[in-house]
């Protein structure tokens, strides 16, 4: 306990007594209410006056959360780093701080730093099964964002393999990170699919389309496995992405170059035939988006992916109606695709690959 003499607004001196618990509770109340500076002041009082208290490490951790609330990511990392590097507190405290530090680094797209943080975490021999799967899922995600697809594939597969070994003997508190491993495993061929261009001459067009189709099928299979895990967030994300790939395939087909040897007078007929034959992919995309929405309605599931599927279904239905009415519609001629993501950042969905995961 600390006892201080303070002067009130009327200039009168008063004796004030307080302890670490009172400061901690006051800091937590301010943190929950979003008064981050006030929360930081209370936590710093603990760290200054009660540095040997058992509440010092929780105060450090919650101070990191307060910095996050302010958008002060470097301040948050500094708080978590104190816990990690000094190995201050119980193993649980250190593990939680390590995860949070790596997640904030990923939020800042400091991929090498984030990867190092999660690699250090996974070297610990005191991780629970849930901690290990979370660490592997987060490391795999970071490697994917670093475009180390081979490394990401290895890590994400190891997470799923580890889960298969323990599933019969261990009950995890959540399947979120198992599903996250499977989802980002699907993202690898999906991103490769999106990156393959369609190029002339004709023989190259065929090779490019075959390569895209191959990546699409692999990604499709992996997304279906994500759905089968049953986590609402990642299942609806996978459903959205399955539909998106079908729409992307239509995009690629209808903007592919017209064979240069084709007479100019035959161009219109060629374009009409391409649109007619590729329309099946729009129908598949529309059907999948609608199934995603119907599934969520039946199960009472809510996620940003469901909202995106609902909006995208309307966009595709409009394209199909216009195409079947004789109009030639090109990608981008109907406006941007809907925004997706938990933070509604305004990033167009056609370019969006969910980089943010819950911290």
Mean pLDDT, residues 77-93:
92
Residue 8: predicted pLDDT: 63
The whole-number average pLDDT for the span 201-205 is: 88
346 located within any domain: yes
Q: From CA 232, how far away is CA 6, in angstroms rounded?
A: 53
pLDDT band at 32 (very low <50, low <70, confident <90, very high): very high
Domain that residue 238 falls in = 174-359
SS3 79: helix
Structural domain contains residue 249: yes
pLDDT class for 147, splitting at 50, 70, 90? Answer: very high
- Report, as an integer, the average pLDDT of 124-153: 97
In-domain check, residue 140 = no
Judge whether residue 155 has pLDDT over 70: yes
Placement of tokens 């101070």 in the chain = 63
130 vs 299, which has greater pLDDT? 130
Q: What is the DSSP string of 159-218?
A: HHHHHHHHTTT---S-SHHHHHHHHHHHHHHHHHHHH----SSHHHHHHHHHHHHHHHHH
pLDDT band at 87 (very low <50, low <70, confident <90, very high): confident
Of the candidates 281, 285, 260, 256, the one whose C-alpha atom is nearest the C-alpha of residue 197 is 256
- pLDDT band at residue 17, thresholds of 50, 70 and 90? very low
Establish if 234 belongs to a structural domain: yes
Q: Would 50 be classed as within a structural domain?
A: no
Taking the C-alpha atoms of residue 244 and residue 338, their distance in angstroms, rounded to an integer, is: 11
Alpha-carbon distance of 86 to 253, in angstroms, equals: 56
- Residue 48 in domain: no
Nearest to 177 by CA among 206, 191, 156: 156
Of 74, 151, 150, 143, give the one whose Cα is nearest residue 115. 143
Domain tally, the chain: 1
- The DSSP element (H or E) to which 85 belongs, if any, is helix 73-85
Would you call 17 helix, strand, or coil by DSSP? strand
What band does 11 get if pLDDT is binned at 50, 70 and 90?
low
H or E segment to which residue 353 belongs: none
| Terminal-residue alpha carbon distance, the chain | 35
Q: What is the pLDDT of residue 98?
A: 97
Note if the pTM is more than 0.95. Answer: no
Task: Decide if 320 is inside a domain.
Answer: yes
Find the Cα–Cα–Cα–Cα dihedral 229, 233, 239, 240, rounded to 10°. -160
pLDDT digits (tens, 9 = 90+) for 311-349: 999 999 999 999 999 999 998 765 444 444 433 333 333
Mean pLDDT of 351-356: 36
- Looking at residue 112, its pLDDT comes to 97
Query: Is residue 51 predicted with pLDDT exceeding 70?
Result: yes
- The CA distance from 259 to 73, in Å, is 52
Average pLDDT over residues 211-234: 95
298 falls within a domain = yes
| Average pLDDT score over residue span 158-171 | 97
Q: pLDDT by residue (tens digit) across 252-282? A: 999 999 998 999 999 999 999 999 999 999 9
């Amino acid at each position: 306990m600390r006892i201080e003499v303070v002067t009130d607004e009327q200039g009168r001196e008063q004796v004030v007594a307080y302890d670490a618990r009172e400061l901690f509770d006051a800091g937590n109340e301010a943190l929950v209410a979003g008064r981050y500076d006030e929360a930081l002041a209370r936590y710093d009082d603990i760290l200054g006056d009660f540095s040997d208290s058992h509440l010092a490490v929780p105060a450090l951790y919650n101070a990191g959360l307060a910095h996050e609330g302010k958008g002060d990511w470097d301040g948050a990392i500094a708080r978590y780093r104190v816990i990690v590097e000094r190995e201050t507190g119980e193993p649980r405290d250190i593990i939680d701080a390590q995860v949070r530090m790596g997640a904030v680094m990923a939020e800042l797209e400091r991929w090498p730093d984030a990867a190092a943080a999660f690699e250090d975490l996974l070297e610990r021999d005191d991780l629970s099964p849930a901690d290990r799967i979370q660490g592997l899922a987060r490391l795999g995600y970071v490697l994917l964002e670093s475009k180390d697809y081979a490394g990401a594939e290895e890590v994400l597969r190891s997470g799923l393999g580890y889960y298969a070994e323990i599933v019969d003997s261990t009950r995890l508190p959540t399947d979120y990170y198992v599903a996250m491993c499977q989802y980002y495993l699907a993202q690898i061929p999906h991103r490769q699919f999106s990156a393959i261009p369609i190029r002339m001459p004709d023989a190259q067009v065929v090779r490019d389309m075959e390569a895209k189709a191959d990546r699409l099928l692999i990604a499709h299979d992996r997304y279906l496995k994500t759905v089968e895990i049953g986590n609402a967030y990642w299942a609806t994300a996978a459903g959205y992405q399955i539909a998106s790939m079908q729409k992307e395939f239509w995009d690629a087909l209808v903007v592919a170059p017209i064979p240069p040897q084709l007479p100019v007078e035959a161009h219109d007929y060629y374009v009409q035939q391409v649109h007619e034959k590729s329309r099946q992919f729009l129908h598949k995309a529309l059907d999948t988006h609608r199934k995603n929405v119907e599934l969520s309605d039946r199960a009472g599931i809510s996620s940003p992916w469901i909202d995106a599927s609902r909006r995208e279904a309307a966009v595709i239905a409009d394209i199909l109606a216009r195409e079947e009415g004789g109009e030639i519609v090109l990608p981008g001629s109907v406006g941007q695709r809907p925004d997706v993501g938990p933070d509604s950042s305004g990033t167009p969905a056609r370019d969006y690959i969910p980089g943010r995961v819950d911290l």
